[in-house]
Amino acid sequence: MSVEIRTVQRGSMVLVEVCGEVDLYTSPQLRAEILKMAAGKNLSLMVNLECVTYMDSSGVATLVEALQHVNRNGGRMVLFGLQAEVKEIFELTRLDKVFDIRSNFETAMKWVTA
């Protein structure tokens, strides 16, 4: 299993693109990358999960930790492009009530710039 993570920053806007399977073995890599980005002040962190084919609870926990850091640093965070199975995990763990989740980049961008 592997995961690829790409990050782009433009001013206060950060885009994190995650691709592949996020599990017990790959989530530490996601954690390292996303917490590095979440450390900035007053950022808008957009996380693209379009090509995440599997996410276990360690991946979900990593995103919760990132949200905690972003909130603490006065920023905000949005997830978008969740595949049906990944979305189900968020619903089961009731984290769909905790995260701002949008269907695609355009709607996530709209939320960030609103």
Partner 1 sequence: MSKAIIQIRDLHTRYGEHEILKGITLDIFPNETFVILGRSGCGKSTLMRHMIGLQKPDQGSVFVKGIDLLSAGEKEREQMLKKIGVLFQGSALFNSMTIGDNVALPLREHTRLEKSTVDIMTRLKLDLVGLSGFETFMPAQLSGGMRKRAALARALTMDPDILFCDEPSAGLDPIVAVGIDHLILKLKKAFKMTIVIVTHELASVFLIADRIALLHDGHVVFLGDKAAFKKDGNPVVRQFIERLPDSEPLDGSKYLQTLIGDSFHGI
Residues that bind partner 1 (CB under 8 A): 23-25, 27-28, 31, 56-58, 60-62, 64-65, 85, 88-89, 91-94
Comparison of 62 and 108: residue with beta carbon closer to partner 1: 62
Nearest distance in Å: CB 90, partner 1: 10
Q: Other CB atoms closer than 10 Å to residue 110's CB: what's the count?
A: 12
The minimum distance between CB 113 and partner 1, in angstroms, equals: 30
Question: Least CB distance from residue 107 to partner 1, whole Å?
Answer: 25
What number of other Cβ atoms are within 10 A of residue 24's Cβ?
Answer: 11
Contacts of 112 (CB under 8 A, 6+ apart): 13, 44, 46, 76, 78
Q: Give the nearer residue to partner 1 in terms of CB position, either 27 or 44.
A: 27
